[in-house]
Amino acid sequence: MHKLNVFNTTRYASSIRAELRASHAGETGAVWIYRGILLVNRFKRDSDIQTFAKHHLATEKEHLLQFENLIHRFRGSALLFFWMFAGFMMGALSMLLGKNWVYYTIYKVESFVDVHYRQQINALSKLEFCDKVDILKMMQACNVDEQAHRDEALSAINGEPNLAMRVWGNLVGTGSHCAVVVAKLL
Ligand SMILES: [Fe+2]
Ligand SMILES: [Fe+2]
């Protein structure tokens, strides 16, 4: 990927700022989901979860860094601490409930993120802005990783999700949707 000039101080139009702010918030939340999982796993010591979460965490940190490099062009969400907390709680709680909950949670989150990135790439491709081609490439590369995370989580789920898991999964989906709406504004 062509290196973006991170010193370019161009401030984007508000619709573009909103999209970048939402994705930056989402990648922040993602990092903290895995931190929550890994913290609880210090006590549970599940080696499959350890490998899964550490590998995903490294990818999410890489995604986050790419958005952080551009943050002067859009301003981060005013609720960043809340996204960290929410991500951490989602990860920690799912791990407290069991590894299948972790895989199912990641599957639901990443399924949401995949749709969101695709919609975002589609919306941004219709606009004109500085470094557009590189930013779209960056988002596409992130989305390929998110799809891999989703598929990896799906194949790790053991059996059919029970009713409680499905209710939780719907909550995760709705929560992610609301988070995007709010992060675009604040
Ligand atoms: Fe990500
Ligand atoms: Fe991901």
Give tens-digit pLDDT for 54-74.
999 999 999 999 999 988 888
At residue 130, the pLDDT reads 83
**Does 76 have pLDDT greater than 80?**
yes
Residue 34 C-alpha to ligand 2 middle, in angstroms?
10
As residues whose CB is below 5 A from the ion ligand 1, the structure lists 27, 30, 60, 63
**Does 6 have pLDDT greater than 70?**
no
DSSP state of 127: S
Ligand lying closest to the C-alpha of residue 112: 2
Domain 14-185 has CATH 1.10.150: no
At residue 88, the pLDDT reads 97
Residue 85 C-alpha to ligand 2 middle, in angstroms?
17
- Give me the mean pLDDT over the 164-175 stretch: 92
Residue 96 C-alpha to ligand 1 middle, in angstroms?
23
**Does 108 have pLDDT greater than 90?**
yes
Question: Which residues lie closer than 8 Å to 138 by C-beta, 6 or more apart?
Answer: 1, 4, 66
Domain boundaries, the chain: 14-185
Ligand lying closest to the C-alpha of residue 64: 1
C-alpha distances out from residue 47 to 37, 112, 138, 157, Å? 12, 27, 31, 15
Ligand lying closest to the C-alpha of residue 29: 1
Q: Among residues of the chain, what percentage have pLDDT more than 70?
A: 95
Residue 146 C-alpha to ligand 2 middle, in angstroms?
4
Mean pLDDT of the chain: 91
